[in-house]
Structure 1
Amino acid sequence: MSTIRLNYFALALITLAGCNTNANDEGVRELYRTNSGFYKSKLNECLSKSAGRTPEQNRMLAAYMKTNLKNPIPLYCKRLIDGAKNGRLTSNDTRDLLSTGVPNAKVLAVIQGK
């Protein structure tokens, strides 16, 4: 997997890393579900950290995500945050990705919208 792809994974999951720990995964999911401001702030944080990508990086991410969007970043961020919101991604997924740089099968499935 290319460094650019890993950067996209790490970027958005770093956004989620600060608020997801084993002890409070369920609490964070509840915040996402009940507090639209929390959801919006995390989405905006991901979008702002993902700004400035080159057209080539966007094409590569769109191809990986199996979408034809010129700017796949909003969909990418939405999928990651929704994955944390609905419990498909846990703090362990985030921690593993950040420590190894390699997304696990659950992260890959969430990014691809499966």
Structure 2
Amino acid sequence: MFLHQNIDKDVRLTIKTNKPDCPLIGDIRNYSAEQILEISGLSSFEDVDLIVGGPPCQAFSTAGKRSSFNDERGNVFFTFINLITKIRPKYAVIENVRGLLSAPLIHRPHNH
């Protein structure tokens, strides 16, 4: 199963051409974990082996302004992490962006 969130229309067209039965979603900020599982054809009781993603990197990259989470694109990173914690895959892979770990941010306490 392959879910892909990409705003590049050419990328979406390529996927739909080569994998016409592959479900595609839009902006992950508009979907709950339950909706993503449903679109994937999975129930909340099934194990998910892997989630792979590359949230927008422009907000963190050392090649840019490094606005971090003050840039709306940076908040997609949090959405992606939240989806991982709700879906609970065996493994999760996130694209490494130079500058992500050193990005300026204000500490937010974790909710347990």
Larger RCO: 1 or 2 (CA < 8 Å, sep 6+): 1
Question: Taking structure 2 as the reference length, what is the TM-score of the superposition?
Answer: 0.30
Pick the structure with greater CA Rg: 2
Question: Taking structure 1 as the reference length, what is the TM-score of the superposition?
Answer: 0.29
From the two aligned structures, give the one with the greater strand fraction. Answer: 2
